[in-house]
Amino acid sequence: MSATPDRSAPERPAGRLRTDPDSVERDLAKLVLTVVELLRQLMERQALHRVDKGDLTEEQEERIGMTLMILQRRMEEMCDRHGLRMADLNLDLGPLGTLLSPAGEAPR
């Protein structure tokens, strides 16, 4: 006996943005926060690279560290405001892996 797929509900590809008014704002916030988090991680990697090379004074290192900590805190606040977790921002790119470095893991 062969099973036939349920055709009563339209299929929606996984991971696509929904266009109903209730989810549009959350999905847009998720997209924007994902881009901001990607840039934050890239800035952090660049800062670590410069620290390792010895390009920065102690004062510059301190200022960059504080700035990155504040930005991380603001990202978490924005996620909370929109009902998101930081993990929700990490897009799955299929065979390429995920877009963002997992929290607490050294940048790639």
Q: For the residues of 37-99, what is the DSSP string, one character each?
A: HHHHHHHHHHHHHHHHHT-S-HHHHHHHHHHHHHHHHHHHHHHHHTT--GGGG--B-GGG-BS
Average pLDDT across each block of 10 residues of the chain; the chain has 108 residues. List them in order: 52 61 82 92 92 93 94 93 90 84 55
Predicted pLDDT at 63: 95
* The pLDDT value given to residue 103: 58
**pLDDT for res 23:** 80
Name the one residue in this structure whose structure tokens are 């405001």.
Answer: 81
Contacts of 85 (CB under 8 A, 6+ apart): 79
**pLDDT score at 20:** 76
Query: pLDDT value at position 96?
Result: 85
pTM of the model: 0.68
Please give the single-letter amino acid code of residue 19.
T
CA distance 103 to 90: 10
The pLDDT of residue 73: 94
Q: Supply the pLDDT for residue 92.
A: 84
pLDDT at 107: 45
